[in-house]
């Protein structure tokens, strides 16, 4: 299926899970539901998520990450060498630590508890989604830098990988094999999720951001300093995607969850190093007022890169943007970036963790507004 020339619409990844799916997950985990029945619930949830996106008019859809406990914890379910645990198993005071630093991580946590082996991570999700939809499918994967910070534990992981970087390198090898399988199976867009890199906009030179502080207390890792952290993230991603850029659209999602005290700053703070990442598109949050000015990012975006502009606020379930508001927001960057290189998407996933509640009806209406705005933009910039 061909895509519009300009202002293509998509989602970041996750979609609100129906309550009956969460109930089914809890029953499956407690042994009250068998695997076959649980899989039927998962299949139905994926069908519903894709139908919602299609009816909202999206050009590129995802399976809504319905099979995942969270955008990152599912590596503990899928890849040999990882396991998934509740945060309290890593530190009994986990929730208090998150509260103290105002950095709420998802409750289900991945941890490296063995040698990482080649495993199917998302290609099974893609194959099922392609049975359900004729739309191009985006597949989201946890980035190596993210997985390193959120899975290497000083006591549990060190017998297998003495350093966090060692575990990250092992994950990169498994990730590369999965990317190759996704390309072979027809993925239209492979997106690497990287909130741990995005969070660095709030870090100082020697002072970590609040999410690194939480991860350090839960997993026992140490902050390397801002410049070294950025460079490590860049190097790991480039190693994972090397050689794949001509076969599929590759993207990276940068996000963070600001508090009232968070600085107003955008991802341009990570430049120029972030532009060394060998992806085609940067999927960036810029709708939430704490995210700064998208023009600052657009001004320095290299001419061979696309921007997936956050145009819908996923943190406010009580308000739906207007079409005019979204059009005005996107037009802030048109003078810097050609419309053929601009995609529209929400700031982040609507439900990055299984238990994050977001009204499905509101999410649908927000997407409808976004796709209507894209239509108006295409009419206005018809030559693009």
> Residues 184-189: what's their mean pLDDT?
98
Q: Does domain 8-380 sit in CATH 2.120.10.80?
A: no
Q: How confident is the model at residue 222 (pLDDT cuts 50, 70, 90)?
A: very high
Question: What is the distance between the alpha carbons of residues 45 and 67, in angstroms, rounded to a whole number?
Answer: 8
**For the segment 24-54, what is each residue's pLDDT rounded down to a tens digit?**
999 998 999 999 999 999 999 999 999 999 9
CA angle 311, 313, 318 (to 5 degrees): 140
Residue whose tokens read 């796709």: 371
**Smallest Cα–Cα separation from 75: which of 108, 37, 42, 30?**
108
Tell me, what's the pLDDT at 2? 84
**Smallest Cα–Cα separation from 196: which of 273, 239, 253, 251?**
253
Say whether pTM exceeds 0.85. yes
**For the segment 234-278, what is each residue's pLDDT rounded down to a tens digit?**
999 999 999 998 999 999 999 998 888 899 999 999 999 999 999
pLDDT at 384 over 80: no
State in Å, rounded, how far the first CA of the chain is from the last one.
19
Question: What is the distance between the alpha carbons of residues 154 and 222, in angstroms, rounded to a whole number?
Answer: 10
**Structural domain boundaries of the chain?**
8-380
Q: How many C-beta atoms lie closer than 10 Å to residue 149's C-beta?
A: 27
pLDDT at 383 over 80: no
Question: What is the distance between the alpha carbons of residues 9 and 58, in angstroms, rounded to a whole number?
Answer: 5
For residues 99 and 2, the model is more confident at 99
**For the segment 355-368, what is each residue's pLDDT rounded down to a tens digit?**
888 999 999 999 99
Tell me, what's the pLDDT at 374? 98
H or E segment to which residue 235 belongs? helix 226-241
Buried b (16+ CB within 10 A) or exposed e, 109-123: bbbbbbebeeeebbb
Tell me, what's the pLDDT at 1? 66
Residue whose tokens read 């982040």: 348
**For the segment 282-334, what is each residue's pLDDT rounded down to a tens digit?**
999 999 999 999 999 999 999 999 999 999 999 999 999 999 999 999 999 99
H or E segment to which residue 284 belongs? strand 281-284
């Amino acid at each position: 299926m061909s895509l519009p020339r300009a202002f293509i619409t998509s989602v970041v990844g996750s979609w609100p899970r129906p309550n009956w799916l969460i109930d089914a997950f809890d029953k499956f985990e407690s042994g009250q539901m068998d695997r076959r029945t649980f899989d039927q619930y998962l299949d139905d949830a994926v069908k519903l998520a894709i139908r919602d996106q299609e009816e909202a008019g999206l050009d590129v859809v995802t399976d809504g990450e319905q099979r995942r406990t969270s955008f990152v914890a599912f590596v503990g379910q899928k890849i040999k060498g990882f396991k998934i645990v509740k945060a309290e198993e890593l530190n009994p005071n986990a929730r208090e630590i998150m509260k103290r630093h105002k950095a709420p991580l998802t409750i289900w946590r991945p941890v490296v508890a063995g040698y990482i082996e080649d495993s199917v991570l998302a290609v099974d999700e893609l194959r099922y989604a392609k049975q359900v939809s004729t739309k191009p499918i985006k597949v989201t994967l946890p980035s190596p830098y993210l997985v390193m910070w959120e899975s290497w534990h000083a006591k549990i992981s060190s017998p297998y990988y003495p350093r966090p970087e060692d575990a990250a390198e092992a994950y990169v090898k498994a990730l590369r094999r999965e990317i190759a399988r996704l390309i072979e199976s027809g993925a239209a867009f492979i997106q690497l999720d990287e909130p741990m890199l995005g969070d660095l906009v709030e870090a100082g030179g020697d002072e970590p951001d609040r999410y690194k502080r939480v991860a350090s207390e839960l997993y026992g890792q140490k902050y390397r300093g801002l410049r070294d952290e950025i460079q490590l993230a860049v190097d790991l991603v480039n190693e994972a995607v090397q050689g794949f850029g001509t076969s599929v659209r590759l993207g990276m999602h940068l996000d963070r969850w600001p508090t009232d005290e968070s600085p107003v700053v955008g991802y341009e703070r990570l430049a120029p190093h972030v532009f060394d990442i060998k992806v085609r598109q940067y999927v960036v949050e810029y709708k939430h007022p704490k995210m700064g000015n998208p023009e600052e990012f657009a001004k320095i975006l290299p001419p061979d890169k696309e921007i997936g502009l956050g145009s819908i606020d996923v943190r406010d379930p009580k308000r739906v943007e207007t079409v005019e508001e979204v059009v005005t927001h996107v037009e802030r960057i048109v003078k810097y970036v050609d419309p053929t290189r601009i995609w529209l998407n929400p700031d982040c996933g609507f439900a990055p963790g299984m238990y994050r509640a977001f009204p499905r009806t509101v999410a649908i209406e927000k997407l409808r507004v976004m796709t209507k705005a894209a239509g108006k933009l295409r009419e206005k910039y018809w030559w693009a």
